[in-house]
Structure 1
Amino acid sequence: MNRRRTRIGVFTATRAEYGLLRPVLAAMEQSATIQPLLIVAGAHLSARHGATLAEIEADGRRPAARIPAPLAGNDRVSAAIDMAETLAGCARAYVELRLDAVLILGDRTEALAAAAAAVPLNLPILHLEGGHRTEGAVDDAIRHAITKLAALHFTAAEPYRRRLLQMGEAPERVFTVGSTGIDNLKTFGRSTPADASAVTGLDLPEGFLLVTFHPETLGVLSPADQIGAFLGGLASVEDRVILITLPNADAGSDDMRKAIAAFASERPDRVRVAESLGARGYIAALTACAAVVGNSSSGLMEAPAAGVPVVNVGDRQAGRLRTPGVLDCALKPGAVAEAIGRALSPGFQIMARSQPAMFGDGQAGRRIVEILDKTNFEGLARKPFVDLDVG
């Protein structure tokens, strides 16, 4: 008699998160022991944020459950209300789908809600990308909170695994597998500007910049002032095309979107704006551009692995591991302009291409599923706390 396949819910609420989950989903779909059930929430279902469920369906995947949230406001209270709706919707979906576990990636408010919903149901949480530090965003606290709720952990680098052990997680439950973002680099390969133009449908000539700037949710400046300072520095680039991908649905992102729209309207010949490029389009743009500029996590992980220079602005990603190909600069117009100029210099471009990979070899999705194939999920939600020997 065939053994029942393990039913694992895979939660996603944003375009970037889904892109990082693609390699895991692909490996799960090839497994004889696992049945992945996609649970779609948040911005995927919001027309205002690009309705990126279409990207999921274009991959041939249909959600097993949809968890809508209001996404009506653009402030901290609205974010908390959205979390409450997501938590309630996830709890109902987990029961209806008869899950054995739920897989959650990262550190966003929606991810915390999805994890919290699993706790009273005694449902094991499988967490990807724990152990990072991002000192400029509330994501840092959320990520560590999910770590303490999760039963199994899959980290991108060995220092992150050690950090989880320091937090009391059992060594046999924490696995260094690499980042699935590197899997996407390996899957899609390197693109030329012509390739990137064809994939994205945008005119992206040689030497273009790829730009993403999200709110620093723990920043001293307001989101409007943050984006004003950033765009003030970006305005120094007068001889290149700039491709800007819009920020996530964080508190304050509406102010940023308005400022970006105004910036682009003043430079219609040089600035392209995209709500979402999709996983393939984003990797094509990232590998074809002259530099990545902003404060996205992809600037600390995927871009260095592709040998692309990075200008990392402000404190949102402070605390992450980084290679010398990442230039950190203050969130001030002059500092941003100076860092972009340095990143585009021939010497820095050559140095960035020669940096060793820090986040794996492009096999993270396969490793995660190989571990899950061998996992006994019975009673897995009951986890130990391992005290460090500090005597």
Structure 2
Amino acid sequence: MPAWHDGNHQRMIGPNTGIGVFTATRAEYGLLRPVLAAMETSATIRPHLIVAGAHLSSRHGATLAEIEADGRRPAARVPSPMAGDDGLSAAQDMAATLSGCAEAYAALDLDAVLILGDRTEALAAAAAAVPLGLPILHLEGGHRTAGAVDDAIRHAITKLAALHFTAAEPYRRRLLQMGEAPGRVFTVGSTGVDNLTAFGRSTPAEASALTGLDLPPGFLLATFHPETLGALSPARQIEAFLGGLTGVEDRVILITLPNADAGAEAIREAISAFAAVRPGRIRIAESLGARGYVAALTACAAVIGNSSSGMMEAPAAGVPVVNVGDRQAGRLRTPGVIDCPLEAEAIAEAIARALSPAFQSMARSQPALFGDGHAGERIVSILEATDLKGLARKPFVDLDWT
């Protein structure tokens, strides 16, 4: 990994530096937990948790309860209508999030805002910081996900952000290609790997106890989100995905429900109908929480679907992955990830391959791509050694074409 600091980042921040930490989904909060934990032990940084989106929506699990169960209280709540799951509703939710975040940032008198990832809510939260002159600290830039609108959102946040914390060196280089200054881009690893390190591996019995679900040995963990740039409708997408799972008759399948993306409602309805006629074989979870999800991931026989955790956390845990369709196209991956098209027969064949003893053994032996489990500590260490004043004024570094 590269050095964490250069000559532009040597002045220590002052005491009681207020950093807003924005979260709108269960998965996002799980990835922010290691950073929040490190901030909470810092002598100079005061994190202010700003909660929005699905955390405040009963239709999506009201996952604020998971945050509060960790002993954290939000400094601000930013509700949005979340009345539908189409593009217009997403844009309306973005407008509400932008307005609410701007009010929260001003009221909290922040010095910077930390934002993770590439969701529509994250873009709104980033845009709210710009007219207020607040530096944006961005995690997980530089990825490519060609099958989802997230790709454009992620790169847009990169251009708004003042500091960048990437999961791998190729992602850092991509940000440099986008004109970001080398002294502002740091490869720290993935906080998802931090969670694996913190929680450790679980047996199926332990995962069952943590999640409250019956998860016998050999169970599969499946997640499918809409391909928001896909040619097929969400209903056709999930039909093909579930068709690939139909042939798995000798194992329990734990299906986690999708995020609040455009088209997610059709996927939720199809999963519910699929499970209703297979009550002894299908388990459904709205949200497992960070600890429960890691327990299920490390205890399962394979991960199936199109979640980013199949590209990052599962390979780090040595768990075979069947990556379906194009949602994650462009991400770094280990040989323990099997890519297959969004077609029922191809999915069934890939699952059989992933469950073979030879492939299971190979997946367990792959080197980690996304850090050593200390990303959160590195991020906070860098922030403690960075002067945030004036950081919102960004340089643009042109490539040398000679």
- Give yes or no for TM over 0.5: yes
State TM-score, norm by structure 2: 0.97
Q: Which residue, out of 227, 237, 241, partners 2:248?
A: 237
Could you say what secondary structure the match of 1:91 adopts?
helix
**CA offsets per residue over residues 89-113 of structure 1, 9 Å max, x none?**
0000000000000000000000000
Q: CA deviation at 1:4?
A: 3.6
The residue that corresponds to 1:272 in the other structure is 283
| One-letter code aligned to 1:215 | P
Report the counterpart of residue 171 of structure 2 in structure 1. 160
The letter of the residue matching 2:280 is D
Matched position secondary structure for 1:159: helix
Shift of 1:218: 0.2
Distance across 2 between alignment mates of 1:294 and 1:39 = 30
* Matched position secondary structure for 1:186: helix
2:46 is aligned to: 35
Report the Cα offset of residue 81 of structure 1. 0.3
Q: 2:183 aligns with which of 164, 172, 184?
A: 172
Alignment of structure 1 residues 333-344 onto 2, 5 Å: 333-344=344-355
Conserved? CA contact 2:191–2:374, under 8 Å:
yes
Matched, 1:366 2:377: yes
**Aligned pair partner of 1:109 in 110, 114, 120:** 120
Aligned partners of 2:297, 2:388: CA distance in 1, in Å?
38
Q: 2:15–2:43: 8 Å Cα contact kept in structure 1?
A: no
Q: After superposition, where does 1:178-327 map in structure 2 within 5 Å?
A: 178-327=189-338
Instruction: Please say if 1:60 is aligned against 2:71.
Output: yes
SS at match of 1:243: strand
Hey, what's the Cα distance between the residues in 2 that align with 1:251 and 1:168?
31
1:100 aligns with 2:121: no
Distance in 1 (CA, whole Å) between partners of 2:289 and 2:73 is 16
Task: Tell me which amino acid in the other structure corresponds to 2:102.
Answer: A
Aligned-pair identity (%): 82
**How far is the alpha carbon of 1:5 from its aligned partner?**
1.0
Distance (Å, rounded) in 2 between the aligned partners of 1:205 and 1:223: 30
* Number of residue-to-residue matches in the alignment: 390
Deviation string 1:117-162 (CA, Å, 9 cap, x unpaired) is 0000010000000000000000000000000000000000000000
Structure 2, unmatched stretches of 5+, are 1-12
CA distance in structure 2 between the partners assigned to 1:108 and 1:149 by the alignment: 14
> Which sections of structure 1, spanning at least 5 residues, go unmatched?
none
- CA 1:221/1:3 → structure 2, altered by over 3 Å: closer, same or farther? closer
What letter matches 2:360 in structure 1?
Answer: Q
RMSD: 0.7
Tell me the SS of whatever aligns to 2:21: strand
Q: CA deviation at 1:3?
A: 5.0
1:127 and 2:138 aligned: yes
Q: Deviations over 1:75-100 (max 9, x none)?
A: 00000000000000000000000000
Runs of 4+ with deviation above 6 angstroms: none
Residue of structure 2 aligned with 1:47, choices 33, 54, 58:
58
2: CA distance, partners of 1:20 / 1:74: 24
Residue 146 of structure 2 aligns to a residue whose secondary structure is coil
| Partner Cα distance (1:162, 1:320) in 2 | 14
- TM-score by length of structure 1 reads 0.99
- 1:169, distance to aligned residue in structure 2 (A): 0.2
2:34 is aligned with 1:12: no
| Equivalent-residue separation in structure 2 for 1:170 and 1:253 (angstroms) | 37
**Cα deviation 1:293-320 (Å, max 9, x = unaligned):** 0000000000000000000000000000
Cα deviations across residues 149-186 of structure 1 (Å, max 9, x unaligned)? 00000000000000000000000000000000000000
